Structure 1
Amino acid sequence: DEAFADFLFDMGIQEDTFYGAADWIQYRIDETKRKQRWWARERLGRISPIGRAWAYGEIYELEKYAKDIRTTSQYSSIAARSGYAKEHLNELEELLQKSKDANALLVGEAGVGKMDVVLELFRELTSGTMMPPLADKRLVILDTNQLIAATGNKTKLERTLYAVFTQAVRAGNIILVLENLPVFIRSAQSAGVEITDIMDRYLELPQLHVIATATPGGHHRVLETKARLMQRFGVVHMKDADKESVIRILINVAHEQESEAVSDIVFTYQSLQAIATGAERYLTQNTMPDAALNLLLSVSAHAQQHDIQCIDKETVMEVIQQKTGVPVGDVGDKEKELLVHLEKILHQRVIGQDPAIEAIAGALRNARAGVQDKDKPIGTFLFFGPTGVGKTETTKALA
């Protein structure tokens, strides 16, 4: 409809925003209906059958050092419905269904969502939707820090590790999770224990599955040097989520924030787009989707603190500017005046040096207009010259 298209254009709503918002509404409707279907297999499957656990052995020693997965994953809303999570979850399940060496190593930067994908596996295991041969598996996270601290010496640590792995194998239905395996290996080595030698005899057994996590640095420095250990693991490389996947993740968290907020708040679809884009562009110290999720929580807190009910793009830009000190969003009249006369303003403190001042001002204007490469810094400048020509003063004036 041409008239409707013109209306959307006049309102500043682009095609991807319109379709994205429509998909969001449809997703919310489908989720509401899904939760109402108490007779669905995934709902009934959450009711544990009588005697299911009786078919497997006990793990008394392992349970001493186990911890709840819901306390280890940072954000529980990286849902399997997100293409990002689904892709990695499928890889993980395929590795765990192998007939031999059915173990997986998730490699990714901190905050990329390694444990959140493990949480999605846990949800499938407990919802009754998992198909054989993983249907009756029990996922247990070994608290390696507690284990190292509690044992204290080489002999006790070795004895405890043998007991933990032996009980897990005898139980026959354990998926054991070792968070940050390189750190665990180094900690055990400091106590005089080479846990890779202990683990190796268990990793090939079909009765036990192990999921380990590692950062790329730990994987390269520690694990890749242990060829025999790595033969027991299939590797899943997790990279930053793309923008579309991040927005799908944000949709779930935004719904939680709207439901749990003390005051009434509503996220617009444009605000989620701004969070995904702004986190990637301005909050580069964290990986995605972690950076976007942290920003969304900050925006939610800011809105509740300032009684903002409808969270839009401008609200997000305001929070980003508070966090970074970098002007973002639309250029106001005051800032526009400053950018137009930036050379003149800088020359109030720096005498001469016209080529340098023009290069700096041009880079800043391009950045503020959004036309520079988002994967590169705003500008990289090397001020070269003898003492007293204005190198330091130019830096101060720019700041």
Structure 2
Amino acid sequence: MQTWLIQALVLLAVAIFLYAAWRYQKDKTERGPSFGGFTGHLSEVTRDLTAAARANKIDPVTGRENELDRIVHILMRRTKNNPLLLGEAGVGKTAVVEGLALRIARDSVPQALKNKSVLALDINALVSETKYRGDLEQRLQKITRELEERAKEVILFIDEIHLISQMGGAEGSLNVSDVLKPSLARGDVQMIGATTWREFDKYIKPDEAFARRLQPVLIDEPTPARALEILRSLRSVYENFHGVKITDDALKAAVQEADEKIDYRYLPDSAIDLIDEASAKVAIEGEYKHHVALGAVHAAAKIGKEKVTRKDIRAVIDQWVLHGSEDKARDARHK
């Protein structure tokens, strides 16, 4: 009898444990994944850049000290404390916001910002599963309420902010930007936006009530000298990723070639992409070069890293220019 009772108690304990584990997993799924301690609807549609900075998952940001100082000044204002970064695609608007997250992670900001988290909104996640009229507005209202509850903890970053001015508004429903306006006006939600001048003029400027809540910050294309400084700060990141050695001459060539030959893109993004692709090319060629017939890597491959030189940069830029010429020829044929 005692043996039977012990077995029953053991089975009951196992059942309770399994049920508790199931409930925990179910509740966790319903809450959504946590990023940097945030849960609920907010965690489902944002990425915590400050947590990423503390985990060393954000690349170094340099050459944007003046712009970062201006953003901090605006964030510290009593009213209209929502910076709007304006600049062409590729000039580094998102990198500037990541630079702010790095400053916060290092406590290199005023006291009022030290406990803030910069949350980057994923617009694709925001609009997913919003099939019916009003679904998107309701979802954003829930997120806005969460932001208001954590007003002293969160700065919301919306890249391509003009997109929210294009969402909703069908058949009498609220425009998505209309959901944010009251919270921005009261100062219950603090936000950083980013867009291009063209999109600003087309979508945000006509909405005067929304535009008034934002303080423009111009993010210009960096000069070649500053772009070179940015590339030097990122050199170790790409060297470690690709397992190569990037020469200073290659960095200079990347800036020069991108500035002179890639007129449809902007520094520093174009030069960074050149370095990235040239490094990948050199790493692959080095692997093939040191590969012997038996499939083993030669010992020489382990002694020193392959070098990325000006020649490699030019080889990549030649491919880019050729591809651009083919695109133009194809477009001309279809006109």
TM-score between both structures, scaled by the size of structure 1 = 0.61
How far residue 291 of structure 1 moved from its aligned partner, in angstroms, is 0.5
Distance 2:279 2:162 in 1: 36
Distance 1:65 1:268 in 2: 40
SS of the equivalent of 1:188 reads coil
Q: Is the 8 A contact 1:107 1:238 kept in 2?
A: yes
Tell me whether 136-145 or 241-250 shows the greater mean CA deviation. Answer: 136-145
- The structure 2 residue matched to 1:120, chosen from 96, 99, 103, is 99
Q: Is the 8 A contact 2:164 2:177 kept in 1?
A: no
- The structure 2 residue matched to 1:170, chosen from 125, 137, 149, is 149
Residue in 2 aligned with 1:193? 174
SS of the equivalent of 2:111 reads coil
Tell me whether 280-289 or 58-67 shows the greater mean CA deviation. Answer: 58-67
Deviations 1:139-190 (A, max 9, x none): 1122222222223233332222222112211212211112211112212235
- The structure 2 residue matched to 1:318, chosen from 295, 303, 315, is 315
Distance 1:76 1:296 in 2: 18
In structure 2, runs of 5+ residues without a counterpart are: 1-36, 287-304, 324-335
Q: Number of matched residues?
A: 264
Residue in 2 aligned with 1:282? 261
How far residue 316 of structure 1 moved from its aligned partner, in angstroms, is 2.1
Q: Is the 8 A contact 1:101 1:205 kept in 2?
A: no
SS of the equivalent of 1:169 reads helix
- The structure 1 residue matched to 2:44, chosen from 36, 42, 64, is 64
Residue in 2 aligned with 1:86? 65
Deviations 1:33-83 (A, max 9, x none): xxxxxxxxxxxxxxxxxxxxxxxx97622222223549x99x94351xx22
Distance 1:325 1:90 in 2: 41
Q: Residues 288, 205 of structure 1: CA spacing in aligned structure 2 closer, same or farther, 3 A cutoff?
A: same
Residue in 1 aligned with 2:24? none
- The structure 2 residue matched to 1:249, chosen from 221, 230, 252, is 230
In structure 1, runs of 5+ residues without a counterpart are: 1-56, 327-399
- One-letter amino acid of the counterpart of residue 157, structure 1: L
SS of the equivalent of 2:66 reads helix
SS of the equivalent of 1:253 reads helix
SS of the equivalent of 2:216 reads strand
Q: Is the 8 A contact 2:49 2:117 kept in 1?
A: no
Please say if 1:95 is aligned against 2:92: no
Tell me whether 275-284 or 305-314 shows the greater mean CA deviation. Answer: 305-314
Distance 2:135 2:281 in 1: 50
Residue in 2 aligned with 1:225? 206
Whose radius of gyration is greater, 1 or 2?
Answer: 1
Q: Residues 310, 66 of structure 1: CA spacing in aligned structure 2 closer, same or farther, 3 A cutoff?
A: closer
How far residue 229 of structure 1 moved from its aligned partner, in angstroms, is 1.1
Distance 1:69 1:133 in 2: 18
Residue in 2 aligned with 1:139? 118
- One-letter amino acid of the counterpart of residue 142, structure 1: L
Please say if 1:182 is aligned against 2:162: yes
Residue in 1 aligned with 2:299? none
Residue in 2 aligned with 1:239? 220
Deviations 1:213-259 (A, max 9, x none): 11221101001101111111100121211111111111122212222
- One-letter amino acid of the counterpart of residue 252, structure 1: S
- The structure 1 residue matched to 2:278, chosen from 299, 305, 316, is 299
- One-letter amino acid of the counterpart of residue 313, structure 1: R
Between 1 and 2, higher relative CO (CA 8 Å, sep ≥ 6) is seen in 2
How far residue 111 of structure 1 moved from its aligned partner, in angstroms, is 1.6
How far residue 277 of structure 1 moved from its aligned partner, in angstroms, is 0.6
Residue in 2 aligned with 1:205? 186
Please say if 1:108 is aligned against 2:87: yes
Distance 1:64 1:316 in 2: 40
- Note the 1:347-362 alignment, pairs <5 A: none
Please say if 1:129 is aligned against 2:111: no
Distance 1:162 1:320 in 2: 47
SS of the equivalent of 2:264 reads coil
Deviations 1:246-297 (A, max 9, x none): 11111122212222334xx322222211110101111222211110011011
Distance 1:177 1:230 in 2: 16
Distance 2:188 2:49 in 1: 21
- One-letter amino acid of the counterpart of residue 298, structure 1: E
Deviations 1:181-214 (A, max 9, x none): 1112212235843123221111123342111111
Q: Residues 181, 188 of structure 1: CA spacing in aligned structure 2 closer, same or farther, 3 A cutoff?
A: farther
Q: Is the 8 A contact 2:165 2:204 kept in 1?
A: no
How far residue 108 of structure 1 moved from its aligned partner, in angstroms, is 1.6
Q: Is the 8 A contact 1:181 1:213 kept in 2?
A: yes
Q: Is the 8 A contact 1:65 1:146 kept in 2?
A: yes
Q: Which runs of 4+ in 1 moved over 4 A?
A: none
Distance 2:60 2:85 in 1: 16
Q: Residues 312, 143 of structure 1: CA spacing in aligned structure 2 closer, same or farther, 3 A cutoff?
A: closer
Q: Percent identity?
A: 20
- One-letter amino acid of the counterpart of residue 187, structure 2: P
- One-letter amino acid of the counterpart of residue 87, structure 1: N
Q: Alignment RMSD, CA only?
A: 2.7
- One-letter amino acid of the counterpart of residue 110, structure 1: A
How far residue 318 of structure 1 moved from its aligned partner, in angstroms, is 2.9
